Structure 1
Amino acid sequence: MCLPKEEEGLGFRSRVHMNSALLAKQAWRLVEDPGNPLALAYKARYFPDTDFWDATTGSTPSYIWRSILQSREVLRRGCKWVLGDGKTIRIWQDSWVIRDSVERLISPAPSSFE
C-alpha cells in the first residue's frame, strides 16, 4: 500500500495518516449530512441530546465510534465557522476567528453567556 505506484503500490505515504483522513471523512459526513440513515443511527445511539461536535464516547461505544471521535480532532483543527446569521455560533467556545494563531476569543466569557 505504501509503495510508490511505479513499484505497484497505491502510493500512500503513511497508512496511519491515510486511516486518519478516511475516518475524518466519515466524521465530516455525520456533520454535513445529518439526515443520512447512518448519521441518524449514530445520533440516536451516541449523541441524541447534542450535536456531533459535543458528543461524548458514551457507554459501551463501538470501535468505529471511538475511532470517528478521535478523528474529530483532525476536523476541529481544519474547520472554521461560516457565520451566516450568527444565531447558532457560541462565540466563546467555537473556532470562528480567523487570524494567524488565534482561534477563539481570549477574553473570558461573562457568566450570563456560558
Structure 2
Amino acid sequence: MVLIGNVAQAIPAYTMSCFLLPKFICQDLEIMFNKFWWRSNNDEGKGLNWLSWNKMSKPKPSGGLGFQNLYGFNLALLGKQCWNMIENPHLLVSRIFKARYFSSNSMLDGQEGHNPSFVWKGLLTTLQSLRKRYRWVVENGEDIYATRDQ
C-alpha cells in the first residue's frame, strides 16, 4: 500500500501539475496499480480482484484504502496552478498567460482562443470548476464596481 500510495502515484504528479492527462491514461495507470495490488507472487501478474479500484480509492474512514483517483488528483493540481496565477498576477507565468489568453480580463474570464497550448486547455478545464465555486470577499468594497463586476 505504501509503494502504490507514495511511489507509484507520486511519479506522475509533476506532469499532472502542468498538463491535463487524458482520462484513459489515468484509467490505465489505475488498472496497473490494481493489478499490482492484487497479484500474488506465484501468479506472474494474475490475481483475483476482491475490490474494484473505485472502492479502493475511497478514503479510509469510508471503507476504502485511501488510494487517489488520478484524474481528480490531476484536476486538483491544475486547480492549484490556476489559483496561484489568480492570486499572484505578478509572476512571470501569470503575465505570459495573461498576455496570450486573457489580456483584458481576469483569468476566470479566459477563453480557449485561437490555437491554445496543451497547458492552457488543461487549465481551462479546471477553471470551469473554479468559476462555479469562486466567491467575492467584499471587505470595504473599494475594488468592486457595480457596472463591471457581476
TM-score interval for Structure 1 and Structure 2 normalised by the shorter chain: 0.5 to 0.7
2:119 to 64, 69, 87: 64
Higher share of residues assigned helix: 2
**4+ aligned runs moved over 3 Å, structure 1:** 87-94
Deviations 1:43-99 (A, max 9, x none): 0111111111111111110011011011012223333211122243466965xxxxx
2:87 to 32, 37, 45: 32
| Overall identity of the aligned pairs, in % | 31
For the residue of structure 2 that corresponds to 1:9, the secondary structure is helix
Distance 1:26 1:17 in 2: 14
Distance 1:12 1:64 in 2: 26
1:9 to 4, 9, 18: 4
Structure 2 stretches lacking a partner, 5+ long: 6-65
Deviations 1:8-65 (A, max 9, x none): 1126421110000001011101100000000001001111111111111111100110
Q: Which has the higher contact order (CA 8 A, sep 6+)?
A: 2
Relative to structure 1, the CA distance from residue 36 to residue 19 in structure 2 (aligned partners, 3 Å threshold; closer, same or farther) is same
Match of 2:9 in 1: none
Q: How does 1:42-57 map to 2 (within 5 A)?
A: 42-57=97-112
How many residue pairs match? The answer is 89
Structure 1 stretches lacking a partner, 5+ long: 95-114
Greater radius of gyration (CA): 2
1:73 maps onto 2:128 in alignment: yes
TM-score by length of 2: 0.53
For the residue of structure 2 that corresponds to 1:38, the secondary structure is helix
TM-score by length of 1: 0.67
Quick one: which amino acid aligns to residue 90 of structure 2?
A: G
